[in-house]
Amino acid sequence: MIKKFTCFFAFVMLLNYEAYSQCAVSAGIDTLICESTTGVQLQYASSEGGTGVIWNTSGTGMFNNINDLNPQYIPSAADLANGSVVLEITSVGCGPVSDQMLITFVDAPTVYAGPDQTFCTNINSVTVNANVEKATGVLWTSSGTGIFNPVANTLNVNYIPSAADKANGGATLTVTSTGNGSCPSVADQMMVTFVQAPTIFAGYDMTICPGSNITTSASMTNATGVMWSGGTGTFNSPTSLITTYTPSTMEAAGGSVSLTITTTGNPLCPTVSDEVALTINPAPSVEAGPNKAGNKQCRKCDVVYLRNRGFRECEFFKYKLYSLGSRPCQRTCNTLPYNVRHLYFIRLPDINRQSPGL
pLDDT at 52 > cutoff 50: yes
Evaluate whether 78 touches 113 at the Cβ level (below 8 Å): no
E-strand ranges in 107-255 read: 110-112, 117-120, 126-129, 131-133, 137-142, 147-149, 156-160, 170-178, 187-195, 199-201, 206-208, 214-215, 219-221, 225-229, 234-235, 244-246
pLDDT for position 289: 52
d(CA 287, CA 277): 32
Q: What's 323's DSSP letter?
A: B
**Is residue 357 over pLDDT 90?**
no
Query: What is the mean predicted confidence (pLDDT) over 105-110?
Result: 95
Residue 86 bridge partners (DSSP): 102
**Residue 286: predicted pLDDT:** 56
Quick check: 198 and 233 in contact, CB under 8 A? Answer: no
pLDDT category, 22, cuts 50, 70, 90? confident
| SS3 at position 245 | strand
> What's the mean pLDDT in 18-44?
86
Topology match between the domains 2-106 and 199-280: yes
Q: What is the pLDDT of residues 246-255, one digit of tens each?
A: 999 999 888 9
DSSP line for 278-314 = EEEPPPP--EEEEEEE------S--EEEEE-TT-SSS
Q: Is the pLDDT of residue 27 over 60?
A: yes
Q: Are 138 and 132 in contact (CB under 8 A)?
A: yes
Q: Which CATH number describes the domain made up of 199-280?
A: 2.60.40.1080
Alpha helices in 59-155 (DSSP H): 77-82
What is the percent of the chain where pLDDT is above 70? 73
For 239, residues 6+ apart whose C-beta sits below 8 A from its C-beta are: 225, 226, 227, 228, 264
Question: Residue 287's pLDDT is what?
Answer: 56
Better-predicted residue by pLDDT, 334 or 95: 95
Domain boundaries, the chain: 2-106, 110-195, 199-280, 287-347
92 or 343, greater pLDDT: 92
pLDDT over 60 at 77, yes or no? yes
Average pLDDT over residues 78-95: 95
Mean pLDDT of the chain: 80
Contacts (Cβ under 8 Å, ≥6 apart) of 299? 336, 358
Percent of the chain with pLDDT over 90: 67
Asked whether residue 230 carries a pLDDT value surpassing 70, the answer given is yes
Q: How far is CA 26 from CA 60, 153, 205, in A?
A: 22, 43, 94
Q: What are phi and psi of 105, to 5 degrees?
A: -95, 125
Q: Which residue has the higher pLDDT, 217 or 354?
A: 217
Q: For residues 3 and 333, give the distance between their C-alpha atoms in angstroms, rounded to a whole number.
A: 167
What CATH code would you report for 110-195?
Answer: 2.60.40.10
| Strand-pair partners of 158 | 127, 149
Coil, helix or strand at residue 171:
strand
- Residue 106 is predicted with a pLDDT of 94
The amino acid that residue 243 corresponds to is: T
Task: Report pLDDT digits (tens) over 278-325.
Answer: 999 987 665 555 555 444 444 444 444 333 334 333 333 343 444 444
Tell me which residue of 357, 305, 301, 295 sits closest to 334, measured CA to CA: 301
CATH numeric code, 2-106: 2.60.40.10
CA separation, residue 244 to residues 137, 178, 261, 268, 355 (Å): 63, 64, 13, 30, 39
- Confidence (pLDDT) at 82: 95
Whether 228 has a pLDDT exceeding 90, the answer reads: yes
Q: What mean pLDDT is predicted for residues 337-346?
A: 37
Q: Which of 111-125, 208-222, 281-295 has the lowest mean pLDDT?
A: 281-295
